[in-house]
Chain A
Amino acid sequence: MEKLIIHRESCKGCQYCIANCPKSALTMTGPINSAGYMTTEVDGDKCITCGICYNVCPDYVYEILEEEAKA
């Protein structure tokens, strides 16, 4: 079972992931990180772990890992 991991401390709030997510699973409603950027949250029911967010993110915020694996 795959899971989307969000490394919020790397995020700079550019929103490329939100614009490209085919399932609108990402929203800019996560906590503000220590650099002061707004970050994302994923709706686990909508996310299909397609990896598009991983591919469009300039800051390597996303990883898709097997459920057991710790990021």
Chain B
Amino acid sequence: MEKRRSKILYVDHKFCPGCGHGIVNRLVAEVLEEMGEEKGAICAVAVGCSSLMPDTYGVDIVQSQHGRAAAVAVGIKRCRPENMVFSYQGDGDALAIGFSETMYAAIRNENITVILINNNNFGMTGGQMSPTTLENQRTTTSPYGRDVTLTGNPLDVMKLMGTLDVAYLARGTMTDIKEITKTKKYIRKAFEAQKNKLGYSLVEVLSPCPTNWGMTPLNACKHISQVVQTVYPLGEFKGGGK
């Protein structure tokens, strides 16, 4: 069976070697194409490494303010209700500065899909601590390791949204072919929920950040499997059904 590069990925991106963005960009493109929804898709892209996407990702894209991509996506979806509308955000964007917009899109059960790339730091700005930085993880703003007595515990958006009436919540990763296959299924289910007008869907993808973690890509993936997943377990948290 032929496997060709998606037309949406029309030019090479500038993500770092081994970055999860590259894979998730492809998975979203494949899902949209397989669903026949790629021609109408509109993306609200966040500030962060996602800001590289307007140059390389072939769907309609609106560059949102830092943290506000979910709200921008809501504005788009309310005016284009038949199009697949999604926000594409990082952990810092969606859960620090954008926490309110992220939560309220879910509280209102807005019919959008949120793709949340979680690499436990603010990547684009050089690796500062983010809401999902692990306890004791060293970052440029937690040089002695994250002290949870000072900074609070890492935030688990699945737990927070678990109390809300939303359509679909899932967390995947992309550390090997098995996980990538599962994550693609989650992304597909999320967009199906939107297409069926069931409401809000969120797929969080644990992603390596080899550059800021100071690891090779393969070791960064090992770190996710062995460490990050123990804090952020994978699976479907709502709407998984059968």
Contacts and interface: CB of A to CB of B under 8 A. Distances in A.
A6 B2 CA distance: 14
B22 A55 contact: no
Nearest to B12: A10
30 contacts: A2-B1, A10-B12, A12-B18, A14-B17, A14-B18, A15-B217, A16-B217, A19-B221, A20-B177, A37-B17, A52-B177, A55-B177, A55-B180, A55-B181, A56-B174, A56-B177, A56-B180, A58-B20, A58-B21, A58-B23, A59-B17, A60-B12, A60-B22, A63-B4, A63-B5, A64-B1, A64-B2, A64-B3, A65-B2, A69-B2
A60 B15 CA distance: 12
Interface residues of B, number: 28
Interface string A15-45: 1100110000000000000000100000000
Q: DSSP majority for the A interface?
A: mixed
Contacts, number: 70
Given A57-B22, A65-B2, 12 more contacts: A14-B18, A15-B217, A16-B218, A16-B221, A20-B176, A56-B174, A57-B23, A58-B18, A59-B22, A63-B4, A64-B1, A64-B3
